[in-house]
């Protein structure tokens, strides 16, 4: 191609088997903040109180997910993608139990993302070494990327992608500033969601025990 502009984007194509099966769910990502001060990067002026506490809806350009920079997190594959990139795409276009197919799966990123979100997966890969690496990683992956009962995507223990429609179901798992205008300096944080899940399970057990005792 000769000399050209340095590409700073990566295109991802997704297709459904037929038009009727094409799903699309609105996705939110966390507000962008200054790394040192923690303040919001965008100035929302007098509109801060109207902001969504989690973050904005994603557009068709995603600038919050970066290529894998650290060698210790990389496989010996020149174009391995970050798992949470594929998780976002999968949350946006599929439901639990759906089948995700990646015909050029490399070291398995799409399959790993699908498994973490409890989707089924199929991958094609021409290089046997990559297939081996993918299978070795997949064995260790669990399908537990959730807050409460909602599937979400984490990166470094922080939720990076949620479905807009799940916010009402998961918002109680977050510490949110009481006055939303403080959102510019105060990041919302996730309370210990796994512990909360356990507490819920205990509650269900208590109710179950009560019902059982009453019916005796």
Ligand X SMILES: C[S@@+](CC[C@H](N)C(=O)[O-])C[C@H]1O[C@@H](n2cnc3c(N)ncnc32)[C@H](O)[C@@H]1O
**Nearest-CB residue to ligand X?**
106
Tell me: does residue 65 bind ligand X (CB under 6 A): no
Is the CB of 57 or the CB of 79 nearer to ligand X? 79
- Chain residues 115-134 in contact with ligand X, contact rule CB under 6 A: 124-127, 130
* 136 part of the interface to ligand X, by CB under 6 A: no
80 within 8 A of 72, measured Cβ to Cβ: no
Cβ 19 to ligand X shortest distance, Å: 26
Q: Is 10 in the site for ligand X (CB under 6 A)?
A: no
Q: C-alpha 155: how far from its chain's center?
A: 8
Q: Which is nearer to ligand X, 42 or 73 (CB)?
A: 73
Contact characters 13-52, ligand X, x per CB under 6 A: ----------------------------------------
CA 171 – CA 28 distance, rounded (Å): 13
150-151 and 153-155 beta bridge pairing = unpaired
Looking at the Cβ atoms of 126 and 202, the one nearer to ligand X is: 126
The torsion of the CA quartet 190, 191, 195, 199, rounded to 10 degrees, works out to -120
Question: Distance between CA 103 and CA 121 in Å, rounded?
Answer: 11
57 three-class SS: strand
- Report how far apart, in Å, the C-alpha atoms of 140 and of each of 12, 133, 135, 182 are: 26, 12, 9, 40
Should residue 114 be labelled a site residue for ligand X when binding is judged by CB under 6 A? no
Residues that bind ligand X (CB under 6 A): 77, 79-81, 104-107, 109, 124-127, 130
């Amino acid at each position: 191609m000769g000399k050209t502009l340095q590409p700073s984007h990566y295109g991802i194509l997704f297709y459904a088997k037929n038009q009727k099966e094409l799903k699309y769910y609105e996705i939110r990502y966390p507000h962008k903040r200054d790394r040192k001060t923690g303040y919001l990067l965008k100035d929302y002026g007098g509109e801060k109180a109207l902001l969504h506490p989690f973050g904005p809806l994603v557009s068709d350009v995603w600038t919050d997910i970066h290529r894998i920079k650290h060698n210790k997190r990389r496989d010996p594959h020149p174009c391995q993608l970050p798992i949470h990139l594929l998780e976002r795409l999968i949350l946006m276009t599929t439901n639990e139990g759906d089948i995700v197919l990646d015909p050029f799966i490399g070291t398995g990123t799409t399959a790993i993302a699908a498994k973490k979100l409890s989707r089924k997966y199929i991958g094609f890969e021409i290089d046997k070494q990559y297939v081996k690496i993918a299978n070795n990683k997949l064995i260790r992956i669990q399908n537990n990327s959730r807050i409460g009962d909602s599937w979400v995507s984490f990166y470094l223990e922080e939720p990076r992608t949620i479905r807009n429609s799940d916010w009402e179901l998961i918002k109680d798992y977050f510490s949110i500033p009481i006055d939303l205008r403080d959102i510019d300096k105060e990041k919302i944080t996730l309370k210990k969601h796994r512990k909360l899940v356990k507490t819920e399970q205990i509650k269900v057990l208590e109710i179950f025990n009560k019902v059982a005792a009453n019916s005796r």
